[in-house]
Amino acid sequence: MITSIFATTKEPFNRGNLALLTQQKHISDIVKIHAGQGGFSVILGEPGVGKSVLREHIELWQSERETTVVSLSRTMHTYLNILKQLAESFKLDVPAKALETELIKAAFEHIRRRKTLYILIDEAHLLQMDVLRKLRLLFERFPKKHNLILFGQPDLLHYLSLNINQDIKSRITFSQTIKPLNDDDLERYIIKELEAVKMGVNTFDNGAVEVIIRSSAGNLRLCRNLCYASLIEACREAKKIVTISHVNQVLVQPHWRSHEELIKQQVAS
């Protein structure tokens, strides 16, 4: 619908391989440096601030000749099942009792081929601490040219700060919190998305942009979803300019409304 109304080949706010924003680029650069010494990195942030975009960007390094990237997302599994995910990524088919030994051998083989190894663990705050401790012990036996990167919500740092987990926290070589974006960054993001698909920067009028930025509260994912949904509302009316009216048609949907507003609505009805 959007492509036909605006005569474009791609939709904004609905594309893969998104360009990194400033703080994501900073983290990406530092992660590469720490990979040279056996890094253990922790990337924190509330849902929607851009952790997934950064993780997907690092996963693309797999296409580089001197890089191997292993990404794990099913973090609520047991230690053995996580080892099986690792083995699958390394294309290993070995008995469970030999998994640790063969994974270490595979890691050294990648380094012998002059590759840098990145192990990404998504939603790491869901990991049981005893599982994370076993993984830490395993990766300590990996060759130095690698970086274990945990992506998680701020609760992860709280768990790691407990006295019982100091053996894990003390081995972190780099950590960073991805912060919510300021208003100028969100506006630049909207403009960049429109320019990327050759749509006019005035596709959203000033009022619509102000409401979107205020409603997103610095959250990149919320901004992206609200922009895309507002575009759809404009296209339903065959309009090429998104106005406050279109944004408000999205914001009245229950999942955009605050808990207090929904309670008031139920009481009034």
User: Which pLDDT tens digit goes with each residue over 218-259?
Assistant: 999 999 999 999 999 999 999 999 999 999 999 999 888 764
Beta strands in 145-193 (DSSP E): 146-152, 174-177
For 42, phi then psi, to 5°, come to -130, 120
Level-2 CATH architecture, domain 22-177:
3-Layer(aba) Sandwich (3.40)
Q: Tens digit of pLDDT for each residue in 191-229?
A: 999 998 899 999 999 999 999 999 999 999 999 999 999
**Residue 153, SS3?**
coil
2-13+181-268, what's its fold? Answer: Helicase, Ruva Protein; domain 3 (1.10.8)
Please, what is the Cα angle at 37 between 32 and 41, to 5 degrees?
60
Residue with tokens 């650069």: 29
Lookup: tokens for 164: 């019982």
E strand or H helix at 132, and its extent? helix 129-140
Q: Tens digit of pLDDT for each residue in 122-153?
A: 999 988 889 998 988 888 888 888 899 999 99
CATH 1.10.8.60 positions along the chain are: 2-13+181-268
The HSE-up count of residue 69 (CA atoms within 13 Å, CB side) is 17
- Phi/psi-derived region of residue 203, left when phi > 0, alpha when psi is between -120 and 50, beta in every other case: alpha
CATH 3.40.50.300 positions along the chain are: 22-177
State what percent of residues in the chain have pLDDT above 90: 50
Alpha helix stretches (DSSP H) within 141-182: 155-161, 166-169
